[in-house]
Amino acid sequence: MTRRMLLLLLILVTAELSLTKFSAGAIGVNWGTEASHPLPPSKVVELLKSNGIAKVKLFDADPKVLRALSGSNIGVTVGIPNSMIKSLNASRKVAESWVHDNVTRYFDGGNRVRIEYVAVGDEPFLQSYGNQYRPFVIGAAMNIQNALAKASLASEVKVVVPSSFDSFLSESGRPSSGHFRADLNKTMIELLSFLTRHHSPFFVTISPFISFHQNKNISLDFSLFKETAKPHKDGRKTYRNSFDLSYDTLLSALSGIGFPDVDIVVSKIGWPTDGAANATSPTAEAFLRGLMGHLEKKTGSLLPRETYIENLLDEDKKNISSGNFERHWGVFTFDGQAKYSFSLNHNSKKLINAQNVQYLPPKWCVVNNNKDLANASAKALEACSLSDCTSILPGGSCSGIGWPRNVSYAFNSLYQQSDHREESCDFGGLGLITTVDPSEDKCRFWIQLDTSHSSSHVPIFFLSWSLLLLFLLSWT
């Protein structure tokens, strides 16, 4: 090779490294599976590929999901549930067994899964968890790291710990005063020392949606990257959107404990489409359009290495202790149908829906208006304790349909989740099965997916007393 060719090669490599350092990183999605009737994994992988989504973050290591991802060349983050953290901290053998069953086996053969990260826990530092997981996280991460090294996979798979949006803060609202929560300081130093030692990035949630709801000084326009938003000043620096405000608060927190140069991955960021004020599809689309455009334009060495949108699909079994919106983060509805018109990549103009989705027959369960409905509200509450009624609670897309149509919504929710079993539309004689779609305007009465292998057991999701009270009040 001539000196001239070597020089040209050096210039090309340097240019590529420069672009990697100073442009926004890859866009991926979170793929949660807390759904009563999940879209088949093979369909989800088709959905990812047809929309050019090259990275996906999982919350567990479901074999059916990982098998579907085999041979896809999609970069995968495999998750370890919080419930396993304590046992992984206590035993290297448990960690080795987990790595063997959930990582090593998918590196064998031709159709391997491109596992890039193992995420220890799902936001185990969330303030509401207290000390439930925090004392065991670092030990669990170290044992998983050692297990990967033993399996000769440590150079290919990095261990990370996703941190919650409330792990860092600034009481003054100024990014320059950003710091980690006092109860987390020691743990964060240990975590970042571990990550730095093994060249792993720092995974963290940034949530402009929750910041908007919790902070009266954050306007909706500021959250949605609108040029008309009133800017926030911090010394000589001016902030024109909530994302940069939060991101720089995080950078200050990292610098404050001695880790100013760690690579950052935004492991969750999104905007829900139901279940709260301003949680609508048009608002969520405006947020994601603003975010994608902002990441494309923004330059700098401290940009996120990767950004994962929350969430790929809606999940009707997700815990709603922090808000009804938790079940509505999806870019797609539960059945893989796009909520917005724009695309997550440069190669297509709009999102592409899941194809050939199998639904249950077009039947709904509604309230029988010819019956005495004195007991209808109580029956609806029973239905909602066994299914998903977040859309008819205050702030939801169906909260304005009134009584008794909201009773019909509750009845239908249980009927769909129960795979159209006739007895699930009884409700003491108040239910009626119909083939006429009761949907209206923006309130859709869903038909569930025909998964054919769904369990006959319907899991119970008890609404909190406060939600029940709001539910009852909304009918008065």
Q: Active-site residues: which are they?
A: 123
B/e letters for 400-414, b = 16+ CB within 10 Å, e = fewer, are ebeebbbbbbbbbbb
Which residues, in sequence order, are CB contacts of 222 under 8 Å at separation 6+?
Answer: 212, 229, 230, 232, 240, 241, 242
Question: In a 10 Å sphere around its CB, with 0-12 CB exposed, 13-18 middle and 19+ buried, how is residue 45 labelled?
Answer: buried
d(CA 397, CA 390): 9
d(CA 51, CA 346): 10
Using DSSP's 3-state secondary structure scheme, residue 314 falls into coil
Q: Does the bond joining 311 to the residue before it have cis omega, within 30 degrees of 0?
A: yes
Q: How distant, in Å, are the alpha carbons of 210, 330, 382 from that of 406?
A: 27, 23, 13
d(CA 94, CA 140): 10
Q: How distant, in Å, are the alpha carbons of 106, 120, 156 from that of 70?
A: 8, 22, 16
**What single-letter amino acid sits at 50?**
S
